[in-house]
Structure 1
Amino acid sequence: MQYDYLIIGGGMVADSAARGIREHDTTGSIGILGADSDEPYTRPALSKKLWTDSDFGRDQVPLGTASEADAHVHTGTRVASIDRSNSSVTTDTGERYEYGTLLLATGAEPTRIELAPSPRVVYFRTFADYRALRELTKTADHIAVVGGGYIGTEIASALSLQGVKVTLVTSDAVVGGHMFPPSLAAVFDKGFADHGVTVRRGTKVTSGAEASARVQLQLDDGSALEADGVVFGLGVRPSTELADAAGLAVDDGIVVDQFLRTEDDHVYAAGDVANYPDAVLGRRRVEHVDNATEMGKAAGRNMAGAAEPYSYTPYFYSDIYDDGYQAIGTMSTSLSTVEDWKSVGKEGVVYYLDDEAVVRGVLMWNVWEGLDEARTLLAEKKPQTEQSLRGLI
């Protein structure tokens, strides 16, 4: 089979890229090869709205890529190799697809320990994982969630709202302590306790096993944890194997230029897997939905001849219980912070500054405006003071 535009990866990047292509080329053939069992869908809903919004159903998760972008979506299709010299790819079942232009939207794979996935062991990433976890909640009284980052905290809060007993295991001394200043982390941590979540702080899971319809986890503090099931949210690693084997530059992601092209003019990369030169923040790789949709569309437009630099700086967001935040740049307590609260832990802005007092990240807690101001502040790259930042957003 042959496509004018071929996309490897069937996620939100693929959907956005197909739509971007259609903005410039209404007739060229588009093929999407996705290893996922489902056609492209909105990933944030898997840990947010599907659990918290009774009006949001599973039928609202698919993005309608095939019909709305006139794309041929091949699900359950895993690409084994790329032959750049012949502009073709081969799947693990031996099928060969030729392309005019190729987009690598291979995303990322969840980090795993030596415990195989099963109906009771979920490495949360896909729509199928959501369905498996929903099924598990029908019989499980107690579920362990491993990981105190975005996915772990969102899933722990979602499960606790379903009436399931939840134990959250985090390496942080306080939940969110790697991202939030102490004043906010304390409030964030307390929110889980207030909702009945048992938190095992300052420890990691070293191994696990299934036995007698239970999952047993060993922790590095010498203790053990037993539950009816476990959900892992330990971060992800970019899926760069295909690009690497094809001789493309890889460095914590597939290296692309400002047009999202690899060193091969006929091969692009976008989304979680792309290491790109952000116009404001510098070269980096971003794993959030805003980047996936905006970068995917930009890549699609450029594949179809737009030749436009990707100059957008993405933001990210999360919702936990009654609180939510949006942020842009680097959120890490390895940086110093300036906090500007209307009410601590209720509404305010946290600025993250480097050793030269230059703002490198902005967190807006229960504040839903200010992204443009934050981008401008980050782009200025000028030293700031507590006085200059207060009241800015």
Structure 2
Amino acid sequence: MTDVSQLKDSYPHVIVGGGEAADAAVRAILDAAPETEVLVVNGSQHPPVGRPALSKTLWMDPDKELTDVYLGTERTGATVVNDAHATALDPERHTVTVEGREISYGRLLLATGSRARRLPDQPESPRVLTLRETEDFVALRPLISEGTEVAVVGGGYIGSELAAGLSNVGARVTLCFPDEKLLAHMLPDSIATHVSEVYGGKGITLESGFRAGSVDVADPERPTVVAEDGRKVIADVVVLALGADPAVELAEDAGLATAEGGVRVDATMATSAVDVWAAGDIAAFPDALFGRRRVEHVVNAGGTGKTAGANMAGAHTEYTDTPMFFSDLFDDGYEAVGLLDTGLETREFWNDDHTAAVIYYLDGHEVRGVLNWNTWDSVGTALETIADSQAGKIGPADLEGRITPGA
């Protein structure tokens, strides 16, 4: 791998970040301009990796190793420098500072992603971890074996996936989450009840209504998670899955415009600074259906990264997608678009044996989100339904039959 000391003083294209968005951008740039030079500043000690595998594939598939989920960015012809951090960006001078070294760029992409949230005054302990970066997985995996007691704190996207994965490799998992039922903030009661039953049936202990306040490491081998109501969960390992915050400090310090907690971009992924683009978790982009927003999911990372890279190479293409997201929860799975919020009205349509459903989330007469539960390859129709609803072409009475559950 390239060392910082080996870098040139100037590159036509510089990408800050080492995730899915960065990899997609590299490939788009080099597809359009194979002879150009691209520098990737990757903050991880490890090569760019497909992050979803850290909470899914590497736990569910015993034949998969970490090296199997590397993205291969370094094999594209780009110069990838690992364990390197950009600490300053000067858009006027077209320079970025990497590990104390100032490098000039022609065009630059910010794909800095997000960082895992921590509890206030969270203690440092090798047995109290998050799971966001490759380093987190590398630290966690050796601690897990048959019978290891693990407390997963947080019942959202990563927490629910990781609990399933840890259980699959034989860990004894306690899943602590704030809702009454697992994923009840986004799944209607019919599905949340089913998911909770499935997880319980897999031997996972569910601690509902649990809002973590602190972690006690007085016993360094057996950390204790303490809830705001005083409940305690003691385990061999604690994994905090409390969500993530976009890493926007570099952009903010450089004076770039921000929105929705991220970096404001137009449809081409261009920021307010000349020759600077942003993609992935940090990009607050104009969604044609839902307005300006950020989306933290691999599908959006790939799409925005590809768009940014193409435009850095001289194209003028726009990101017009409303990105979908998906997850697998043991034998169940879903694909979804829009806002899944059970504070909205929901309409449910099930197949005959009640194993698959299409759920619409409505604000008044307008569809704001669609969940295809065990229902596949219907995201396009879901997007059309949202668009037709916004345009007033259909109402709630017209939803049945738009998508066939289980198809």
Match of 1:154 in 2: 161
SS at match of 2:296: coil
Answering whether residue 309 of structure 2 is matched by residue 300 of structure 1, we say yes
Task: Determine if contact 1:119/1:136 at 8 Å carries over to the other structure.
Answer: no
Quote the Cα distance in structure 1 between the aligned partners of 2:325 and 2:179: 21
Shift of 1:117: 4.7
Greater mean deviation of Cα atoms: 226-235 or 47-56: 47-56
Q: How many residues align?
A: 390
| Counterpart residue number, 1:98 | 104
Identity rate, percent:
41
| Aligned 1:225-244 pairs, distance under 5 A | 225-244=233-252
* Distance in 2 separating the partners of 1:345 and 1:37: 46
What SS does the aligned partner of 2:92 have?
Answer: helix
Alignment counterpart, residue 184 of structure 1, candidates 186, 191, 196: 191
Cα-to-partner distance string for 1:300-335 (whole Å, 9 max, x where unaligned) = 001111111111221111111111111011111121
Q: Which residue is equivalent to 2:3?
A: none
Q: TM-score, normalised by structure 2?
A: 0.93
TM-score normalised by L of structure 1: 0.96
**1:349 and 2:355 aligned:** no
Instruction: Give yes or no for contact 1:18–1:30 (8 Å, CA) kept in 2.
Output: yes
Residue 81 of structure 2, aligned match among 74, 78, 84: 74
Alpha-carbon distance in 2 for matches of 1:55, 1:345: 33
| Aligned equivalent of 2:348, options 313, 332, 339 | 339
C-alpha distance in 1 between matches for 2:220 and 2:287 = 50
Correspondence for 2:5:
none
Matched, 1:389 2:399: yes
The residue aligned with 2:55 is: 47
Give the aligned partner of residue 36 of structure 2. Answer: 28
Q: Which residue of 2 aligns with 1:363?
A: 371
Q: Is the 8 A contact 1:188 1:345 kept in 2?
A: no
Q: Distance in 2 between matches of 1:127 and 1:347?
A: 34
SS in 2 for 1:37: coil
Task: Sort the Cα spacing of 1:389 and 1:222 in 2 relative to 1 into closer, same or farther, 3 A.
Answer: same
Segment drifting more, 312-321 vs 116-125: 116-125
Deviations 1:126-171 (A, max 9, x none): 1221222211103862100000001000011111122211111100
* DSSP 3-state at the match of 2:179: coil
Distance 2:190 2:307 in 1: 39
- Are residues 1:115 and 2:122 paired? yes
3-state SS, counterpart of residue 265 of structure 1:
coil
Give the whole-Å Cα distance in 2 for the aligned partners of 1:247 and 1:343: 56
Q: 1:214 aligns with which of 214, 222, 226?
A: 222
The answer (yes or no) to whether the contact 2:360–2:370 under 8 Å persists in 1 is: yes
Report whether the alignment pairs 1:377 with 2:385: yes
Residue identity opposite 2:306 in structure 1: K
**Per the alignment, in what secondary structure is the counterpart of residue 18 of structure 2?**
coil
For the residues of structure 2 that align with 1:345 and 1:232, how far apart are their CA atoms? 33
Contact 2:178 2:211 in 1 (8 A): yes
Contact kept? 1:256, 1:274, Cα under 8 Å: yes
Q: Which runs of 5+ in 2 are unaligned?
A: 1-8
- In the alignment, structure 1 segments of 5+ residues that lack a partner are none
How far is 1:344 from its partner? 7.3
TM superposition shift of 1:247: 0.5
From 243, 256, 262, the equivalent of 2:271 is: 262
Superposition deviation, residue 204 in structure 1: 0.8
What secondary structure sits across from 2:269 in the alignment? Answer: coil
SS in 2 for 1:132: helix
- Does residue 309 (structure 1) correspond to residue 311 (structure 2)? The answer is no
Q: 8 Å contact 2:107–2:275 — kept in the other structure?
A: yes
Is residue 2:292 matched to residue 1:283?
yes
Cα deviation 1:173-195 (Å, max 9, x = unaligned): 11111001111111111111111
Distance in 2, Cα, partners of 1:204 & 1:344: 36
Q: Is 2:16–2:86's contact at 8 Å kept on the other side of the alignment?
A: yes
Deviation at residue 343 of structure 1 after TM alignment = 5.1
CA distance in 1, matches of 2:214, 2:200: 26
C-alpha distance in 1, partners of 2:400/2:50? 36
Counterpart position of 2:138: 131
User: Which of 205, 208, 220 is 1:201 aligned to?
Assistant: 208
Alpha-carbon contact 1:254-1:262 (below 8 Å) kept: yes
Q: CA contact under 8 A between 1:183 and 1:344: conserved in structure 2?
A: no
Rounded to whole Å, the distance in 2 between the matches of 1:368 and 1:133 is 33
Shift of 1:377: 1.4
3-state SS of the aligned residue for 1:302? helix
Is 2:269–2:319's contact at 8 Å kept on the other side of the alignment? yes
SS in 1 for 2:351: strand
Secondary structure of the 2:376 match is coil
CA contact (8 A) 1:4 1:100 kept: yes
CA distance in structure 1 between the partners assigned to 2:167 and 2:332 by the alignment: 15
CA contact (8 A) 2:54 2:131 kept: no
Distance in 1, matches of 2:202 and 2:374, equals: 19
Whole-Å separation in 2 of the counterparts to 1:343 and 1:219: 41
- SS of the aligned residue for 1:41 comes to coil
